[in-house]
Amino acid sequence: MDQPRRILYIDDDPGLCRLVEKLLGRRGHHVVTAPSGREGLARAASEDFELIAVDHYMPEMDGLETLRALRALPGCPPIVYVTGSEESKVAVAALKAGAYDYVVKSVGSDFVELLEQAFAHALARVRLERAKEEAERQMRIANDRLSALLHEANHRVANSLQLVISMIGMQARMVTDPAARLALADTERRIRAIAMVHRKLYTSENVTSVVMSDYLEAIVEELRNSWLSSDRRTHISLSADPIELKTDKAISLGVVVSELVSNAGKYAYPPEKDGEVRVRLFAPEPGQFQLVVEDDGIGMTPDLVQGTGLGSRLLSAMAQSLGSQISYDESHNGCRAVLTAPV
């Protein structure tokens, strides 16, 4: 040990107690002895020690019982267990009960040297444990700080996007051209899909991923509300597993759902006909998710499937960012768009 220590040595052998006290005292340590487990426990509870050694064989209260009682004390220092030469099972039991090390008992200076080495190892382990705890504490502080910053960033982004949405809405109300008003409405819808992710991130404990069932429900509800103010008679149904995706993937998938559902609402059914758009998100196998958006309408013409408009380019770009592409099931009576991608 690199500096003097205050040590409690608990043993009912008075000769060995004197030997330990004498030899460790010569090396600068202050040794206090106790002849029984109960007295040692009382001294440990009322005095400050940096190290404790406990002998196994003691009357009334043996070493293991003493060890467990010592470990229950607040701020218990590291304990080295002293066993007989044939007591390997006892040593293992002591280590499981919380001893930092053990020493085989003998008479002579060798035992004291081994005891001091065991004390040194115990102190080194304590230093490592404290360093680990401090590193974990600092990491928790850093993670909490980062989480708070991300919450604040997502809050500000969501507010900024909401401001943009409001400005687009104001502009749309001032525009008289139907095509321009429709384009602005589509732009507003796309921005809402992105803003919803940031809104969920700053109101959630998890700031790095999004539960897609909740997110898609919010998108679908937004579309339902927007359709209530129009002449659309199309119903949207959603079935989504609680799959978690990273933020960037969640945004891409949200835009895809918004585009596909909006297209179905516009083109799948004639104005005079009721219809349904079904959205399903599930995991066909571990590590994958599959999105299906389908209707029972008039189907997709080649021009619509291969469209060159902004919506088609946006769908292609979002699918590519997910490491996938959108395919259309030609056997379906209506339109069925399918996207399969890795989680």
**CATH code for position 13:** 3.40.50.2300
Residue 217's domain is classified under what CATH number? 3.30.565.10
Question: What is the DSSP secondary structure assignment for residue 273, as one 8-state letter?
Answer: S
**179 vs 314: CA distance, rounded Å:** 19
Predicted confidence pLDDT, tens digits, the chain (343 residues): 668 899 999 999 999 999 999 999 998 999 999 999 999 999 999 999 999 999 999 988 999 999 999 999 999 999 999 987 667 788 889 999 999 999 988 777 788 889 999 999 999 999 999 999 999 999 999 888 877 777 777 778 778 878 888 888 888 888 888 888 878 887 888 888 778 777 776 666 676 788 899 889 988 888 887 775 566 678 899 999 999 999 889 889 988 998 899 888 888 888 778 889 999 999 999 999 999 999 998 887 654 444 447 778 889 999 999 999 999 988 888 899 999 999 8
Please check whether residue 107 lies inside any domain of the structure.
yes
Which of these, 264, 263, 262, 261, lies nearest to 240 by C-alpha position? Answer: 261
Which of these, 35, 25, 33, 28, lies nearest to 61 by C-alpha position? Answer: 35
235 and 116 together in one domain? no
The residue out of 136, 167, 190 marking a domain boundary is: 136
pLDDT at residue 167, as a whole number: 87
129 and 238 together in one domain? no
pLDDT at residue 85, as a whole number: 64
pLDDT at residue 290, as a whole number: 95
The residue out of 136, 156, 179 marking a domain boundary is: 136
**145 vs 148: CA distance, rounded Å:** 5
**53 vs 262: CA distance, rounded Å:** 75
**72 vs 112: CA distance, rounded Å:** 27
Q: Quick one: which H or E segment has residue 323?
A: none
187, burial (CB in 10 Å: exposed 0-12, middle 13-18, buried 19+): middle
4: left (phi over 0), alpha (psi -120 to 50) or beta: beta
**186 vs 165: CA distance, rounded Å:** 11
**267 vs 304: CA distance, rounded Å:** 10
Number of structural domains in the chain: 2
Q: What is the largest CA-CA distance in the chain?
A: 105
Please check whether residue 153 lies inside any domain of the structure.
no
Please check whether residue 222 lies inside any domain of the structure.
yes
Cβ atoms of 114 and 124 closer than 8 Å: no
Q: Read off the tokens for 297.
A: 């309408």
235 and 122 together in one domain? no
**36 vs 51: CA distance, rounded Å:** 17
Please check whether residue 161 lies inside any domain of the structure.
no
213 and 343 together in one domain? yes
Please check whether residue 203 lies inside any domain of the structure.
no
39 and 123 together in one domain? yes
∠ at Cα 143 (137, 146), nearest 5°? 145
pLDDT at residue 42, as a whole number: 94
The residue out of 136, 168, 183 marking a domain boundary is: 136
85: phi then psi, degrees, rounded to nearest 5:
-65, -25
Please check whether residue 231 lies inside any domain of the structure.
yes
Question: What is the DSSP secondary structure assignment for residue 47, as one 8-state letter?
Answer: S
**100 vs 81: CA distance, rounded Å:** 8
pLDDT at residue 292, as a whole number: 95
Q: Read off the tokens for 309.
A: 């408009």
pLDDT at residue 306, as a whole number: 42
In three-state secondary structure terms, 241 is: coil
In three-state secondary structure terms, 287 is: coil
pLDDT at residue 227, as a whole number: 72
Q: Tell me the residue range of the domain where 251 lies.
A: 208-343
Sheet with 79-83, edge to edge strand ranges: 30-34, 6-10, 51-55, 79-83, 101-104
